[in-house]
Amino acid sequence: MIVHCMEKKAYEKQKNEKFICYEELGKDGFLHNSEVRHLHLVLPRFENKKEDYVLLCIDESKLIHELKYEYSPSLQRDFPHIYGPINTDAIIEVLDYLKDENGKYRKNPEFLTVADE
């Protein structure tokens, strides 16, 4: 499973479509994702934003578009990139992006058994 973070209102608008996240593709040509074990490295980028976010839990074996693990020099890890919009039938669960009282990312209960790396 991989995870994609997006604005909740954008997800709500697109969730009944066959594909979502078209707009995000224009920036890099792919969609940024993470494995659960690396979420603690990327989700702080969404802290202190006014918008609500959701975490799309994706079964990568169901993706229609190409998935590549590529190296991020800034985080010194490989991250999954989807080269096309996400087909909604690959989304197995949608979770709220949780924050603590200081606005910092709080690990979802569903992910507590996965150690951060």
Number of domains the chain contains = 1
pTM (two decimals): 0.93
The two beta strands, 66-72 and 19-20, are unpaired
Question: Is residue 71 one of the residues assigned to a domain?
Answer: yes
Provide the residue range defining the domain that includes 29. 2-111
Confidence at residue 24, expressed as pLDDT on a 0 to 100 scale = 76
- For residue 51, is it within any domain? yes
Answer whether residue 117 is part of any domain: no
3-class state of residue 71 by DSSP? strand
Which residues in the chain show pLDDT less than 50?
Answer: none
User: pLDDT tens-digit profile of 7-29?
Assistant: 999 999 999 999 998 777 877 89
pLDDT of 28 reads: 86
Looking up residue 90, the CATH number of its domain turns out to be: 3.20.170.20
Q: Which of 2, 95, 102 is nearest to 44 (CA)?
A: 102
Q: β-strands 77-83, 66-72: how paired?
A: antiparallel
Identify whether the C-beta of residue 3 lies closer than 8 Å to the C-beta of residue 55. yes
Bridge-based pairing state of the strands 86-87 and 66-72: unpaired
**pLDDT value for 25:** 82
**Any domain includes 116:** no
